[in-house]
Amino acid sequence: RLAERHHSAIAGQEDERQRDGPEPEGADTDLDRPILAADSAPLDERTLAQRAGIGWLGRNALVIAPEAGTYRLLGFLLTTAPLAPHHAGQDADRCGSCHACETRCPTRALVGRRVLTERCISYLTIEHQGVIPRALAERFAGWWFGCDLCQEACPWNRFAGPAADPRLNGSDADAALLAVGPADFDAYFAGRAVRRIGYERFRRNLLCALASLGRRDECASLLGEGLPLVVEQARELGITPIS
């Protein structure tokens, strides 16, 4: 079935709550108030998490915590409050000889604990704005927004419990995704990170995901809209657009 990255169901809402909240009395600049960020601010989150001793940088280029694996969102509260330093003491590398994540990655995007963004399914489906090369798109394995394969392969994630937020434990039905149109796109994905890629890239991603599963016969509804990016992506994949 079509798949999306688990955290995409709620990513970004923490910062929306911060922006919508009242200004502290007497606050003139951002430096006068705490700044809350979760996957949405220009911070080197992984390095900060390592320095706090939360975990180590795995071969999937994600921070691995012994008790929770990689299934966690790194959130930060930036403040000038005088807080005592704390180190959780779990930053020693424990990947050992395991290369499960590198082996599982269908586009071979993991090299030397780095992500080759130009090959990463998450980057291609979330950040890349143009046509996705056929050699990569056909390896998407059904993913249309982000990818969790390197996390699913990580042995440390067997210690991770179910997410407290039920929205992180499921995904949309294929039929529901294909039925989303331009008029209801914003409403359907309200409060979800998917909205930021826009409708046209959303449809491009669905096209690539279906093609990667060998379900080309289901692409007609995507091509029928005549969206330029989707049509160009279809040509790249060798799918004949509807005339």
What is the pLDDT confidence band of residue 61, given thresholds at 50, 70 and 90?
very high
User: What are the residue ranges spanned by the domains of the chain?
Assistant: 36-79+87-161+170-237
pLDDT at site 18: 39
Q: Is 167 exposed, middle or buried (0-12, 13-18, 19+ CB in 10 A)?
A: middle
pLDDT at site 28: 46
Extract the runs of DSSP E, i.e. beta strands, from the chain. Answer: 3-4, 35-38, 56-57, 63-64, 75-78, 110-111, 114-115, 143-145
172 is catalytic: no
Bridge partners (DSSP) of residue 63 are 57
Instruction: Tell me how far apart the terminal alpha carbons of the chain are, to the nearest angstrom.
Output: 28
pLDDT digits (tens, 9 = 90+) for 89-99: 888 999 999 99
Q: Which amino acid is at 103?
A: T
Which residues touch 82 (CB under 8 Å, ≥6 apart)? none
- Selected catalytic residue, list 20, 28, 32, 39: 39
Instruction: Record the tokens describing residue 30, joined without a space.
Output: 């951002």
Output 5 or 139, whichever has higher pLDDT: 139
- Does residue 143 have a pLDDT over 80? yes
Q: Is 136 exposed, middle or buried (0-12, 13-18, 19+ CB in 10 A)?
A: buried
**Cα distance between residue 67 and residue 54, in whole Å:** 10
The candidate with the shortest Cα–Cα distance to 195, out of 15, 42, 10, is 10
- Does residue 221 have a pLDDT over 90? no
